[in-house]
Chains A and B, each alone.
Chain A
């Protein structure tokens, strides 16, 4: 039960990011911040493969429902991109890599899969002319997301971990010790 609660809190956080990041403009017209991927990155890095897959697909579907883009081309590209990025990130997380390279590889694969899906939808391979631009933008936003994810992982798993994973009752210790770990 605790796992379901935890995953649904993170899914809610991620799909909220997905909707709210539309309000925050990216400096370059083509790009997006992709803050919601930082939650997926954190889960892929700290928990594992299955949970990252669940949250990645759930946040794509929920975010698309909330922003009214369900089953549109941008939903399809985002969905497949997020799922494949979570697979790659959780695979690389088994080795001793840091957040930065996980995020960079995730955004790289995300962009690659998005371009493949777009070229299927459009029916031409000319879309791969955009590939270098997308990789550069993905590196920029991927670095920001890696920073967010490492901070978030620190908050969720180190400082406040008793909030989610406590076996003892919270009132055991001194009052106010609940969140100080």
Chain B
């Protein structure tokens, strides 16, 4: 009588480890693929693509200092009274920081061409 293939063999570990390596690699690649942060003010628009600390000025007037760290962003200091934007802390992709007195919105630029995908 024909013997059926067994559910698990020792060789399986190799292939499954291979899949996990590809998985971790793809996660690392997709994390590093730099997302851009847009600082949108009343009459300026600044796009941050490299990590670092940036001073945001509007018409020569200092507004805030923004720290961008690859895939997260925060406001270090600001001139607004309540400091809500500073208290927001680190924000990842998809999040936004809004500073109402300075009229500044900080958000990640991640445009996709589709709403949902079904299969």
Chain A residues proximal to chain B, CB less than 8 Å: 32, 45-46, 73-74, 77-78, 92-93, 95-101, 104-105, 108, 114, 118, 122-124, 126-132, 135-136, 139, 146-147, 150, 153-154, 157-158, 161, 181
Contact = CB atoms under 8 A, between A and B. Distances in A.
Interface in B56-72: none
Interface string B1-22: 1111111110110111001001
Interface stretch (B42-50, B80-88, B97-105, B109-117): B109-117
Contact of A97 (B11, B27, B30, B119): B11
A45 B6 CA distance: 10
B15 A97 contact: yes
Contact of B4 (A129, A132, A135, A154): A154
Contact of A46 (B4, B30, B114): B4
B79 interface: no
Contacts of B14: 101
Interface residues of B, number: 26
A87 to B, nearest CB: 16
Given A93-B5, A114-B119, A118-B119, A105 B15 contact: yes
Contacts of A78: 119
A157 B15 contact: no
A74 B30 contact: no
Question: Top 9 nearest A-B pairs by Cβ distance?
Answer: A101-B12, A98-B9, A101-B15, A150-B7, A77-B119, A153-B4, A74-B119, A98-B8, A132-B27
Given A101-B12, A105-B15, A135 B23 contact: yes
Contact of B9 (A73, A96, A126, A127): A96
A100 B7 contact: yes
A135 B11 contact: no
A8 to B, nearest CB: 21
A28 to B, nearest CB: 14
Contacts of A122: 113-114, 117
B23 A136 contact: yes
Given A74-B119, A99-B8, A123-B113, A132 B16 contact: no
B118 to A, nearest CB: 6
A150 B5 contact: yes
Contacts of A123: 113
A105 B16 CA distance: 8
A157 B19 contact: no
Nearest to A111: B119
B6 A99 contact: yes
Most buried by A among B5, B8, B114: B5
Contacts of B15: 92, 97, 101, 104-105
A122 B116 CA distance: 11
Contacts of B4: 46, 150, 153-154, 157-158
